[in-house]
Copies of this chain bind each other. A is one copy, B any other.
Amino acid sequence: MKDMDTRLTARVVAADIATGHRSVSDVVQATLDRIDVMEPQVQAFVHLDPALVRARAQELDAADNKGPLAGVTVVVKDMIATRDMPTGHNNVRYTGVMTGVDAAPVDTLRAAGAVILGKTVTTEFAATGRGGKTTNPHDPTRTPGGSSSGSAAAVAAGMAAIGLGTQTGGSTIRPASYNGIWGWKPTWNVISREGLKVYSLTCDTLGLYARTAEDFTLLADVFDLDDAPQPDTLAGLKIAYVHPPAWDRVEPPMRDALAKAAAALQTAGATVSELHLPDLFTRIDESHDIILAREGRAAFLNEARNQPDTLHSEFLSMVENRRQITPQSAREAYKIADTCRALMDDILSDYDAIIAPSATSEAPVGLEWTGDPSMNSLWTLLSVPVVSVPGFSGPNGMPLGISVITRRYTDRTAIAIGALAGPLFAASE
């Protein structure tokens, strides 16, 4: 997978369409051809209708005003609603269900000219670790990560320019790391999550995948994100590396990658220091766990009542609160989260960015378990933007990503610093 197809990234396609160098139909056909080659092994899709996609391409080719994403191919995790394709949540009750309306981010992408290519594999309700059939394009014996398995693998395999996933724990950034692509978990709620199945409103976030950092800039424009500092050099930036509370779960290759990343940034002229998080942050993972269990209890009640016999026991256990999480401990968990969020906002105001591992390791072998989200949960709960930068790899040749984290509402800063860091990381491999 070193030869992953970068010709058809969003930026290249948008430029080619704008200059008339290519038609949308050409792009779509090239992508469908690529899918024919890759999909038998990668198994990223749960729904793909080439005729529908070609018709959309023709419609765009005939349009006068095609939009900034004209011809850009997008795959959509199958827990995000689409008006012209079923939305199944990898759950038997929703098989073949048509929602009639697009999720808000899909609606926005369509308005910008994007081609919604198909629906991709998710774990059930994007909630559990139970994987799907998708394999990692770099090694079919390994997981692509989850729950946004299909979108991450499809983008990595060149079967789409952009992938939509979600992140409640580590469901976007971890798969980005495992698949060697760019992942972006925006600031909480700066991109609407309307039409994504709910698990935890406090944590649920749309996630995005691309094969270049520049494609994220294009998406930031389409989603009308706030202006924020976008440095054009690393020299002079103040950057910290962080060992998150679950650092003992990080395996040596990822420890090395973080150290190399810090060194590369320092060599490029950034001031790099280690940041020690305040003690309260040791309780963040526990708080995340409690909040998910509490909010999941409400989120899956209707499923437990309507499909008790087909719902996985993990959901029933949450709905019935078998762990007996008390209201008092829930109130405490929210307080810790709120307090840490305010603290992190202050901490991040002292740095241009911080860096941390995007996962604990290379993608694990096997498709049953989608991997450890402990490097991601804290950033998710803290609402901050995270961009996972590919470039490093481990002893098995599998990719390792580094997270660039900035203050809430400075997504463009994280993308810009990631864009500068990416080539350095790849060069210092």
A192 interface neighbour in B198, B335, B342, B345, Cβ under 8 Å: B198
Cβ–Cβ contact A306 & B101, under 8 A: no
Interface residues of A in 315-341 (CB under 8 A from B): 319, 327, 330-331, 334-335, 338-339, 341
On chain B, the residues within 8 Å of A330 by CB distance are 408-409
Spell out A's residues near B (CB within 8 Å). Answer: 94, 97-102, 104-105, 107-108, 110-112, 189-194, 197-198, 201-202, 223-224, 226, 228, 295, 297-299, 301-302, 305-306, 319, 327, 330-331, 334-335, 338-339, 341-342, 345, 407-410
On chain B, the residues within 8 Å of A105 by CB distance are 302
Smallest beta-carbon distance A318→chain B, Å? 11
Known: A94-B101, A97-B101, A101-B94. A112 touches B331 (CB 8 A): no
Smallest beta-carbon distance A342→chain B, Å? 5
Known A99-B99, A104-B302, A107-B302; 13 more pairs at CB < 8 Å: A97-B101, A107-B305, A108-B306, A111-B306, A192-B299, A201-B201, A228-B327, A330-B408, A331-B345, A331-B408, A334-B408, A338-B341, A339-B342
Known: A100-B97, A101-B94, A198-B194. A301 touches B224 (CB 8 A): yes
Name the 8 nearest CB pairs between A and B, nearest first: A327-B409, A338-B338, A107-B302, A111-B305, A194-B198, A108-B302, A104-B302, A98-B100
Smallest beta-carbon distance A93→chain B, Å? 9
Cβ–Cβ contact B224 & A192, under 8 A: no
Cβ–Cβ contact B190 & A298, under 8 A: yes
A111 interface neighbour in B99, B194, B224, B302, Cβ under 8 Å: B302
